[in-house]
Chain A
Amino acid sequence: MDFYQNRALRAILLAIRIVLGAVFVYGGYVKLQAPWALFGMAIDSYHLVPLRYIEPLARTIPWFEVALGLLLIFGWLLRISATTVSLTLAIFFAAMLHAFLNHQEINCGCFGPGEPISKWTLLRDGSMLAGSLFLTWMALRSPRRMA
Chain B
Amino acid sequence: MKLYTIALVALLPCLAATPDVDKGKTLGLPTAPIRMEIFGDFTCLHCRLLHEETLPLLMKEFVVTGKLYIIDRAFPLTGPPHQYSREAFGYAVAAARIGKYQEVADALYAHQQTWAQAGNVWDCVTAVLKNPADQKKVKDLSKDPGVLAEIEAEYQEGVQAGVNVTPTMIVTAGGKRYPLPPAPNYELLRSMLNGFLPK
Contacts and interface: CB of A to CB of B under 8 A. Distances in A.
Given A105-B165, A114-B162, A116-B164, A37 B192 contact: yes
A29 to B, nearest CB: 15
Interface string B166-183: 000000000000111111
Nearest to B195: A35
Contact of B191 (A40, A45, A107, A109): A40
Interface string A73-116: 00000000000000000000000000000000111010001101
Given A113-B178, A114-B179, A41 B195 contact: no
Most buried by B among A35, A51, A109: A35
Contacts of A11: none
A40 B186 CA distance: 11
A44 B195 contact: no
Interface residues on A, range: 20 to 34
B165 A40 contact: no
B122 interface: no
Contacts of B180: 38, 41, 113
Interface string B183-197: 111011101100110
A41 B179 contact: no
A57 B191 CA distance: 15
Nearest to A42: B181
A34 interface: yes
Contact of B181 (A34, A51, A106): A106
Interface in B130-167: 162, 164-165
Interface of B: 162, 164-165, 178-185, 187-189, 191-192, 195-196
Interface of A: 34-38, 40-42, 44-45, 51, 54-55, 105-107, 109, 113-114, 116
